[in-house]
Structure 1
């Protein structure tokens, strides 16, 4: 007899003897599990322990509090739709160890659940957990965008979709952006050059301000499109716009000076050619630059352990506050200067 046959025999009813009636009575009266119309058992969560030898450790990204809170939100709304798998705990009779579903178990605790649907599977190997996680593939960004698009087309609001998915409204908005991308960005996305939703949204924002520069940058097929490369591109465009703004301010100041003094362009041109005919203008001594003067200062700081810089061109809302921008993701925000550590003052 094969192991499979043995497993099948073990699952078959053992007849109508008194022993079987006793087992059946015990199952129906057991506090740890109840049968629901041939479906999974509803297991008492107080009798379930996590496997201390499971491959995933506490620092696994899937165990982050914010990720589990998202899952808990969907469980509060819809319950656990995929039963967990448990096995009898050989060291504690009447208790169970989790085979698969530790994240669902933890999120159910956060959701305040006392029971969880599950299957009892004692045919377990340690490799089973690794294999299940190794071969689990999530939805692609395109698939998520298409789903969100279909929900929006059905009349649902983004907030409702976010609540049902257990995600933030920003997550839904970012993926909805993929449904209507500018042509250069859509081409890069469709050909698989970029799949990071955060990067795509950053490119869309840059494209709105500098469409020609972004189109030209994307035309280079050898250009890697990553968070780092887009960060450098954003800084380059910011510096370029700042330089253009400075030049515009200089031109405006010169024009105002001409209006105040009554000197027009012809007078300026004449003065440049010389004060009288046949006379050469005296040579001007080049102005020596002050080596201690910074043309454009960048104040590097640290905020919440992350590198950032002060934004000197944005007015704070109150004394003691300032606008900052993180170097790693470009987020701009305002905060108390008491929370900021000065790192360096450099020239751009």
Structure 2
């Protein structure tokens, strides 16, 4: 056999194989009865925008004037045989098109039947498709990552699979271990800012009661700007308490020294002077005291501590009413 004839035969074989493959792929795309198809219960995406589904349904049901038939879906969905129900199928990709077709009351849908399947690969493909389209909510991403980690997969492996950083995986995984009140905030959809949720969780470890009360405040809008102000307030409050404690400590030392001096010299006590003055005030109808050991932002401002809750606030001095000056 000549070399040219041998190469020619190889080309013919290649052509036949190519034709066979094309026929197989084309043959796997069929119009399936939509009642034979079910969504994948393990699909990471759970929520679908109703307005977008209705818009897609209108496009699918649009009657083509040239053919007098509905337009249908242009891209076939991908399904696999249902292992528990012979003759039925489970969606791998295309659940949005499937849902829209049901709304459009289409009896059938174009589908590619995938027989060579791997459960882990299917789950990864579904996640990659949705995350690239930004179709997933933070909770859906977190739940998928949690399931994969529970199967023994590593964070680094998941990061490479999704094309994301290790920090991305860690940040979303942390959403599955939030303190109860922050978890409820996340689950209810009131806050889906992943960074803010994790920042709240970190602050909750140091200030659980304060963070709980801040979240429970129905008038409080949970966002990054308000959180920043809240965190600054906590830091200032704690710094003020630290300064006050230090001042008390210094005063205590001074008292001890004065007592020692009294024992030695025993001077006559001057009753016209206060050993420690406490300035009692009233601000907007609320009683409190002036915090004199905390530096204000200007000479027209001052720090006060309310008697009711012990919280420090910086206010305008002209808004204060001095009610009494007592000895501490």
Q: Which has the higher contact order (CA 8 A, sep 6+)?
A: 2
Q: What is the TM-score of this pair, normalised by structure 2?
A: 0.41
Of Structure 1 and Structure 2, which has the larger fraction of its residues in helix? 2
Q: What is the TM-score of this pair, normalised by structure 1?
A: 0.39
